[in-house]
Every structure is written in structure tokens, then in C-alpha cells.
């Protein structure tokens, strides 16, 4: 992995953390509380969703760059 890609992935997780932090304050101002299990599920859901989307995008770009998506018979 290149350093640039690592920076992009780190930036995506930083944006996720900022979003989770902001929503926390929004919910707090509305008087909505959550248990520890709720926070765990909330954070785990965000991290796993982001990791899955990054992984699928990386696989798509890898496949396209290495010719796995090329047709064997262009006339077909």
C-alpha cells in the first residue's frame, strides 16, 4: 500500500470519528441517552461499514488495473 492510500484511509476514519462525535452532541442536546452497549454497536457499525466500503472499492480498482475486467473476445 502506498503512503497516499494510507493517508486517504486515515482521513476517512478521521471523518467518521468527527461525524460520530458531532452526532453525539446533537443527540445530547435533544436529551437522548444511550447505554454502553448502544455506543459499542454504534461505533462498531460505523467502523465496519467504512472498512467494508473501503475494501470493496480497493478490490474494484485492483481488478480494473490488473486486467481482470477485460473481455477475452472484444467482438462478442
C-alpha cell at 19: 461525524
Q: In the chain, what percentage of residues exceed pLDDT 90?
A: 30
For the chain, the structural domain boundaries read 1-33, 34-75
pLDDT value at residue 24 = 84
CA 64 to chain centre: 20
76 or 47, greater pLDDT: 47
Over residues 35-54, the pLDDT tens digits come to: 889 889 988 998 999 999 98
Phi first, then psi, for residue 51 (nearest 5°) are -65, -40
Question: Whole-model pTM?
Answer: 0.64
- Cβ 30 vs Cβ 72: under 8 Å: no
Does pLDDT of 76 surpass 60?
A: no
> For the ranges 11-20, 21-30, 63-72, which has the lowest average pLDDT?
63-72
Amino acid at each position: 500500500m502506498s503512503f497516499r492510500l494510507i493517508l486517504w484511509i486515515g482521513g476517512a476514519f478521521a471523518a467518521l470519528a468527527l461525524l460520530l462525535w458531532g452526532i453525539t452532541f446533537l443527540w445530547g442536546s435533544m436529551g437522548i441517552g444511550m447505554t454502553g452497549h448502544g455506543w459499542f454497536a454504534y461505533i462498531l457499525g460505523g467502523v465496519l461499514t467504512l472498512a467494508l466500503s473501503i475494501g470493496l472499492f480497493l478490490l474494484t480498482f485492483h481488478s480494473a488495473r490488473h486486467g481482470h475486467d477485460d473481455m477475452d473476445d472484444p467482438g462478442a
